[in-house]
Amino acid sequence: MNTLKLLAFLRGYITYIFQVRVKHYLSAAIARFTQQLRKNVRLKKRYTSEIQNRIKAADSSNSLRLLFEDRSARRRTNVASSSGTLRLLFDCASTPTRSVVEALPKPSRRDAKPVSNMSRRNPKAEPKASRPGGEISSSKDFFLTNFAPIPAFHTVGLGFCFTVTRILSEGDPKPTRRKFEQRWEKGGNWSPIEQVLVEKLVVNPMPINRVKPKRSVLRCFKAICTSLILQLNTLLGLICPVVQRALKYLLFVADYKRAYRMILTCLFLCLVSMFSLSAQTPRKDSGADGLTDLIALKPGDKIPDAVWNQSLELNYFNGKKKTVKFADLKGKLILLDFWSTGCPSCIEGIPKMELIQQRFPNKMQVVMVNSKRNKDTAKRIKTRFEKFKADFNFTPSLPTVLDDTIFTALFAHNTLPALAVIDAKGEFVAMTSSHSLTDKNIQALMDGNAVLKNEGNYKNLIRSAAEPLLDTVGLHYISAFGGYREHYLPVYPNLNHKNGTTFLQMGNQSLQFMLFQAYGQALKGFRQNDLVIDTLLGRQFKEKLLNLNSTQNKYWYQFYTYDSVSRSQFADIFCREFQNYFKIAVARRSDSIELYKIRFSDKIKNILTSRKASIARFQGIGEEAFYQNIPIGLFLQNLFYAFDLPTELQEKENFNIDITIPAGFVRWTEQEKLTFLNERGIVFSAVKEYKTYPLVYPIY
């Protein structure tokens, strides 16, 4: 079938390129080839079936019967092929322990003579009758009696004589053809049976015309030759037509009067390939040379001139496109936001980046970058933002670069989302996240102050595979706190047992996270706004609990012991270690305390959201906080740092709001804060009641 497919392909190719009318010739060739192939398959199946049936049915007696019976008797035996014939002819030779007499067919009850009941070992026992009209006592007698009527053995020569002699030989245990030929040349030392064989078959053969019917050996030899010729013709029939047709079509194309079209076609293909290569290879004068040698930049490196001279095709999410030079953005603070459709945080962060762009419209430019390695298609992007618009009635206005390879190579990162910052001088500042892009930091970058740390590639894409803070080799116990570790993602606590040891890490986590891990039982069922902070700790500790994104407020902890420790045992150990390191503790108390009860007035309608994208931009203590389409409960939890008393939400209803907390809100007086929120429908009422609460207090 592969040959047929090749011929069909050649027919289509030659007809299309060179316009040669070869359909008729190829169709005829394929038809003849297919017909011959099917015929050979049918013959092969038939021969195989017949040979297998004859091999199963044949035995040595049938072989001798085919060797010595007359032509009319042989018609009852169908010899399928040469291999089957040889197997039937020389079956006796393959079993030398079996005599010729045993190989003869047994007589029927009707033709057999009476047999004595005497033992066969008795030398006086009568021999059994094998055929009517005579008794055979040995293989020699059988040969002398039945070999004379065979007229055609002399036609096969010495080789066949030797074969029959080997079957009937009793003197030489290992007769060979070479021995037979040497004895023939010397002319002596013949056994009685070999003398009769030579005399009958070679020296004095019987004329063919004395007996009319032909014998089966000649017919078998003819069948062998016919089978060999058939196989040779089949092989030639498969090869010759293909070669002949290929030569014929080659000569036909070579003599075709319009064969110059082939030359023109080749020239055209060469020109197209040359133009395509020249289009992909940057010209020297374009400034794009060297793009293939781009390496990742380090903070402080300048953007190469070849990159500034590149043309960018900016795609907008409303379907519009715009082509600009990257150098047109030079002189501005450039934020390259790497994203993909498979990153939910990236999609959620786009509205936040638009908000930042709106804050600094003239001095900053945000460009979304979708790397080629993301394998995002135009259809996938369109489908994703159609859903985004259906959910929030919002279409991003920021431009994006699709199938990017240049920026991906320049700014190394292995997580999404990721932000590359380029200052107004054209220098690479850092790879960072949107949490670091506060208004204060952005203004510092515009003023030429590098205030961001480069995050770059992270070492622990698998969070549990982070390198230990301390090496455990040769140690039996480790329980240690450390500060923030650069280039590591947050690691969550997971107690591992191996070979009788216990190991745990939690890394780059905030003070609030560590507090709730250390006092899980005491803080169970409480939130951060339920905490009652001892006055000795002051507001500074409360602000530290809320400042989740500052690297100065993140810690690393490692535990290792050459023993098996359960979860409850580790909780006690970590609680003690937390107390020793931070010098604070938590306890449940039940007492009458003052707190703020929160309810909502009709003015709350003024800040209810109306199908907008969700944005939560908390820039830090004392900075402006912007909330859009955020649940009211989440907003009040994050607002606890601004008040001295714990807060409690009375109403169970939870809805989303849009609200902006101005910069310096935390420094206002208590009454100013309450008035600001009261005007927006959030009413705080101070009450005193008996309740259970978690108390955070210092220890010395």
C-alpha dist (Å) from residue 581 to 470, 484, 546, 577: 17, 15, 19, 6
Give the type of residue at 15.
Answer: T
CB-CB contact of 44 with 66 (8 Å): no
pLDDT at 242: 73
User: Which bin fits 98, alpha (ψ -120 to 50), beta or left (φ > 0)?
Assistant: beta
Question: Average pLDDT of 96-113?
Answer: 41
How far, in Å, CA of 242 to CA of 252, rounded? 15
d(CA 79, CA 221): 11
587 vs 591: CA distance, rounded Å: 12
Rounded CA separation 201/205 (Å): 5
pLDDT-derived band at 654 (thresholds 50, 70, 90) equals: confident
pLDDT at position 509 over 50: yes
Residue whose token pair is 């003052």: 594
Q: Which of 31-45, 134-148, 417-431, 480-494 has the lowest mean pLDDT?
A: 134-148
Q: How many Cα neighbours within 13 Å face the side chain of 24?
A: 2
Q: What is the pLDDT of residue 88?
A: 39
Instruction: Assess whether the previous peptide bond of 417 is cis (omega < 30° from 0).
Output: yes
- Which of 208-217, 279-288, 357-366 is most confident? 357-366
Sign of torsion over alpha carbons 73, 77, 82, 87: negative
d(CA 348, CA 687): 39
pLDDT band for position 227 (cuts 50, 70, 90)? confident
pLDDT band at 40 (very low <50, low <70, confident <90, very high): low
Q: Which residue has the higher pLDDT, 465 or 389?
A: 389
Enclosing H/E stretch for 455: none
**Sequence-ordered alpha helix ranges (H) in 556-681:** 567-582, 632-638, 670-678
For the chain, what is the largest distance between any 2 Cα atoms, rounded to a whole number of angstroms? 144
Q: Which of 627, 464, 667, 452 is nearest to 549 (CA)?
A: 452
Q: Are 202 and 181 in contact (CB under 8 A)?
A: no
| pLDDT value at 199 more than 60 | no
The mean pLDDT of 177-194, rounded to a whole number, is 60
Which residue shows structure tokens 């005193």?
Answer: 688
Residue 361, classed as helix, strand or coil, is coil
Indicate the residue type of 144: L
Q: Calculate ∠ Cα 364-625-633, nearest 5°.
A: 140
Report whether pLDDT(313) > 90.
yes
Mean pLDDT of 307-316: 94
Helix (H, G, I), strand (E, B) or coil at 457: coil
Task: Note the pLDDT of residue 540.
Answer: 81
Domain 295-446 is found in CATH 3.30.450.40: no
Q: How confident is the model at residue 249 (pLDDT cuts 50, 70, 90)?
A: low
Averaged pLDDT for residues 428-454: 92
- Distance from C-alpha of 10 to C-alpha of 16, rounded to nearest angstrom: 10
Q: Does residue 222 carry a pLDDT above 80?
A: no
Q: Which amino acid is at 561?
A: T
Comparing C-alpha atoms, which of 287, 294, 223, 276 is closest to residue 81? 223
CA angle 378, 381, 384 (to 5 degrees): 150
Local confidence band at 529 (pLDDT 50, 70, 90 cut-offs)? confident
Q: What is the mean pLDDT of the segment spanning 237-248?
A: 70
What's the rounded Cα separation, in Å, for the pair 403 and 150?
91
Confidence of residue 111 (pLDDT cuts 50, 70, 90): very low
Domain ranges of the chain: 295-446, 463-698
- pLDDT of 38 reads 67
Q: Which residue has the tokens 């290569």?
A: 277
pLDDT in tens, 587-639: 999 999 999 999 999 999 999 998 889 999 988 888 999 999 999 988 998 88
Give DSSP secondary structure letters for 422-436.
E-TTSBEEEEE-GGG
3-state secondary structure 535-551: CCCHHHHHHHHHCCCCH
Q: Which of 5-14, 37-46, 53-62 has the lowest mean pLDDT?
A: 53-62
CA atoms within 13 A on the CB side of 255: 6
pLDDT of residue 272: 56
Average pLDDT over residues 262-267: 61
Bridge partners for 65 per DSSP: none
* Each residue's pLDDT tens digit, 346-399: 999 999 999 999 999 999 999 999 999 999 988 899 999 999 999 888 899 999
> pLDDT higher for 85 or 681?
681
Own/partner contacts of 106-113, CB < 8 Å, gap of 24 or more, are 107/131, 107/132
pLDDT of 206: 46
Rounded alpha-carbon distances, angstroms, from residue 247 to 236, 240, 242: 16, 11, 9
Phi first, then psi, for residue 453 (nearest 5°) are -95, 140
Q: What is residue 261's predicted lDDT score, i.e. its pLDDT?
A: 59
Is residue 324 a contact partner of residue 332, using CB atoms and an 8 Å limit? Answer: no
- Alpha carbon distance 53, 55 (integer Å): 6
Q: CB–CB of 612/394 below 8 Å?
A: yes
With H, G, I as helix, E, B as strand and everything else as coil, classify residue 304.
Answer: coil
Task: List, in sequence order, the alpha helices (H) in 69-191.
Answer: 71-74, 82-89, 100-103, 139-146, 157-168, 177-186
> Torsion-angle region of residue 316: left (phi > 0), alpha (psi -120 to 50) or beta?
beta
pLDDT of amino acid 669: 93
Cα separations in angstroms, 388 against 320, 383, 444, 446? 18, 9, 33, 32
